Every structure is written in C-alpha cells, then in structure tokens.
C-alpha cells in the first residue's frame, strides 16, 4: 500500500481516491483485529498528531454544517474533502497499532513515482508538444508533487551512505538519482513557478542535513542543482516579473495579476468577518458580488479558491480555521525535528532519514500553498495527508528489522 501510493499517485487518475480508500479499509481491519494492542503501541506523539488531524477536519466539517455546502475541490474533482483528515487519522491509528512498515517500500516508492512522473511529463512535452504537461490533471499539483517526490529521492542519498537492508543496492541508488532528476524535470516542464520558488528552501533543508554526512563539495553540488539555470524556469520567472510590473501599472489580467487580485479580495473578505470567516459558498458569492460592483477583476470569479491556503482558510473559516491549519503545518514539523534529534542521540541515520522526509513534506506544502490552495485540491490534499501519515508512521517509530533502542516513551526499532 505504501509503495503503490507513492509510485502511482501521479500516474493513474483515480489513485488519489482508490488507494486511500483501500488504506482506510486495511487500517480499520487492523484496528478490529488488534484492538487490544492499540493503547499499548500508541505513543504520546501519535495522540498529538491525531488531535491535529481531527481538529482540522472537525472545524472544516463545522463550516460545512453551517453553510450546508460541501467543497468539491479544484476542477470539481474530489468529494467529502473535510472528512479526509479524519480518515488519515484512522490510517495512522491502525498502522501504528498493528503494521510494521518496511523502509525499502518508501524509498522504492518515491523513486518509481518520481521516475514515472518525469517520463509522463517528458512524453507529453517533447512527443505530444504540450506546453504544460499534466497527465490529465491540474498542472500545478502535478508539478509540485513530482518536485516533492524528486526531493525525497535526495534524502537517502544524503543521509544513508550504507546499504539499507538487502534492497538498498547500487540499483536503488541509481534509481534514486534518476528519480531526483525526473521529479525536477516534471516540475520544470509543468511550468509551476511556485514549486521552483520552494525548491531552493527544500534543497537548503536537505543540504543542512547533509553537512553532517557528505563532503562539502557534494553539498555545494546539491545547492547548485537547486539554483541551476534552465530555460523553462528562467522563462517562467521572467514572465512572473513582467506580470508583477503589469499589475503595478494597473493590469490585473495576467496569471500573477489574477493571483494578486484574489489575495486582495481575500484580505477584504477577512477584514469583514475575521473570527469565523464567510464559509463554503458564501465566500464565492460575496467575492462575485464585489466583482460585479467593479472592485476586482472579473477573472477571479472563474476560480473556487483564492490560490493561497492561508488566505483562503482565513477568509473561509476565520481565525479558528487558520489556527487548525497552522497546527497541521507546524505541529508535525516540531515532531519531525524531535525525531531527528532522537535519531542523532542513538546514532540512527534511518530514523533521521524518515524525520527529514517528514520535514521536507511539510515545508514543501507550506511553500506550495503560498501560490495555490493545495489542500482544496483532491490530489494535493490526498498527497499531503498520505505522505504525512507515512512519514509519521515511519519516523515516529521506525520499524526495520534489527536492534530495538528504547527512548523514553518511544521504542525506535533501527
């Protein structure tokens, strides 16, 4: 299940829904079979993560209740999105209580997923002549998630300088290198400016971890790759600068101009109802009314979100909703930092590798959410929750055959 989710999320149209449903069903079955061991195997950090997921979901569901409208996600794809964090919590609960995750499944999954995304993007761009390849989905989540998978391929190359069990061989190291390049290629070809703004931060995060294990020359090479000049990237960034100049001169019809208009409209909405927000449907109705009055560019009415997770959540669910979103971002980030430090104490690079993966996932989605409401997109939300749960289940109690090292309330199998 872990391998399939990582490898096929961007490949098959319904993978974002079918694989999580199977994961939930498996987790519930595990809970029924192993219900007597749930409390014994659940750590305090697991409870914290479950609270974070539950509160985010419950506040979103309360917003649905007061407005009687369900969000359907970007391009009307995805259903019952507010329930998904609760289902992710059920998966975490079931897997941490009964399932021993196998580390190579994670590394093979991210490598194959990034390779397939790169192959699809290359085929659509170079063979079919599409300007922004997307595999039949929104090009922005496609490029962003491909970039994230490619970055995750770098983590074991930076931290794990020894064989990872019988599966970590020269073949897998080669697959990870190719996966990293393929993920970056898919992001470049998809034309996602936001992803390439985030990637230097991800590269710095991975490089900072690599300073402890890699020669400085390799670290500098990694940073150079993050900032490498590529024609598509330069063109898209140059286009963004031109859009910004046009916006300052009164032009609001460009890609960046429409985003700035949406953020300006979101700030106006927030000032009117800061505590509880406008709610599902009501936000769009009020925004469109202001558009009719001539306050904003009519182009922003084409979208069902404000292209920024923080602005959209604050305008839609107010300060309370924003608090749950920030908890969903930064509480897991603190937990992964804690796992990283615990891995350092016991000298376990494997624990550190999974903790670094978790931090990369959170930082990536925080950055992606600055220019796109990734958590209102079906594949974006599914990808974030799935990767977050897998990283927590793997790093919080890293279970690989071998030595068991007790660490307070945790039992890290390294």
Q: What is the pLDDT of residues 67-85, one digit of tens each?
A: 988 887 666 666 789 999 9
Residue 398 has pLDDT above 60, yes or no: no
- CB of 188 within 8 A of CB of 230? yes
User: Phi/psi of residue 208, each to 5°?
Assistant: -60, -40
80 Rama class: left (phi>0) / alpha (psi -120 to 50) / beta: left
Model pTM?
0.88
- Taking CA atoms, 110 is separated from 9, 168, 239, in Å, by 10, 14, 31
Mean pLDDT of 341-363: 88
The residues near 126 (Cβ < 8 Å, ≥ 6 apart) are none
- CB of 6 within 8 A of CB of 113? yes
User: Phi/psi of residue 71, each to 5°?
Assistant: -70, 145
Q: Report which of residues 83 and 223 the model is more confident about.
A: 83
Residue 304: the pLDDT is: 86
Helix 349-368 and helix 103-122, axial crossing angle in degrees, nearest 10: 40
Token pair listed for 396? 């919080």
Residue 278: the pLDDT is: 94
Rounded to the nearest integer, the mean pLDDT of the chain is 82
- For residue 116, name the pLDDT band (cuts at 50, 70, 90): very high
Residue 166: the pLDDT is: 41
Residue 412 has pLDDT above 60, yes or no: no
Cα–Cα–Cα angle for 336, 340, 341, rounded to 5 degrees: 120
Question: Lowest mean pLDDT: which of 5-9, 60-64, 196-200?
Answer: 196-200
Residue in the block written with tokens 């190359």: 157
């Amino acid at each position: 299940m872990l391998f399939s989710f990582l490898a096929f999320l961007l490949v098959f149209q319904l993978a974002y829904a079918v694989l999580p449903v199977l994961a939930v069903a498996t987790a519930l079955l595990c809970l029924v079979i192993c219900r007597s061991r749930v409390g014994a195997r659940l750590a305090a950090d697991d409870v914290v993560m479950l609270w974070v997921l539950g509160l985010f979901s419950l506040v979103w569901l309360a917003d649905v209740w007061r407005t009687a409208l369900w969000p359907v996600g970007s391009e009307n794809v995805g259903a019952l999105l507010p329930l998904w964090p609760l289902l992710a919590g059920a998966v975490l609960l079931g897997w941490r209580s009964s399932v021993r995750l196998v580390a190579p499944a994670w590394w093979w999954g991210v490598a194959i997923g990034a390779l397939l995304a790169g192959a699809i993007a290359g085929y659509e761009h170079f063979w079919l002549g599409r300007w922004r390849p997307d595999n039949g989905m929104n090009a922005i989540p496609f490029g962003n998630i491909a970039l994230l998978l490619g970055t995750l391929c770098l983590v074991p190359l930076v931290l794990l300088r020894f064989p990872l069990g019988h599966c970590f061989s020269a073949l897998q190291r080669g697959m990870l290198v190719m996966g990293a390049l393929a993920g970056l290629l898919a992001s470049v070809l998809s034309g996602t400016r936001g992803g390439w703004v985030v990637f230097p931060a991800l590269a710095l995060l991975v490089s900072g971890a690599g300073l402890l294990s890699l020669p400085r020359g390799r670290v500098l090479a990694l940073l150079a790759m993050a900032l490498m000049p590529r024609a598509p990237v330069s063109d898209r960034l140059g286009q963004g600068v031109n859009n910004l100049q046009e916006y300052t001169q009164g032009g609001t019809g460009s890609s960046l101009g429409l985003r700035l208009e949406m953020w300006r409209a979101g700030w106006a909405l927030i000032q009117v109802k800061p505590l509880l927000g406008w709610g599902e449907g009501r936000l769009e109705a009020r925004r469109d009314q202001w558009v009719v009055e001539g306050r904003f560019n009519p182009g922003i009415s084409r979208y069902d979100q404000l292209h920024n997770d923080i602005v959209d959540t604050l305008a839609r669910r107010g300060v309370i909703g924003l608090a749950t979103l920030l908890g969903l971002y930064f509480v897991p980030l603190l937990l992964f930092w804690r796992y990283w430090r615990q891995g350092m104490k016991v000298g376990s690079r494997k624990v550190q590798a999974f903790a670094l993966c978790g931090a990369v996932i959170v930082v990536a989605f925080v950055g992606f959410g600055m220019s796109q409401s990734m958590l209102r997109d079906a594949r974006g939300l599914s990808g974030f929750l799935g990767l977050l749960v897998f990283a927590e289940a793997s790093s919080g109690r890293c279970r690989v055959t071998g030595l068991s090292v007790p660490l307070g309330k945790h039992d890290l199998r390294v």
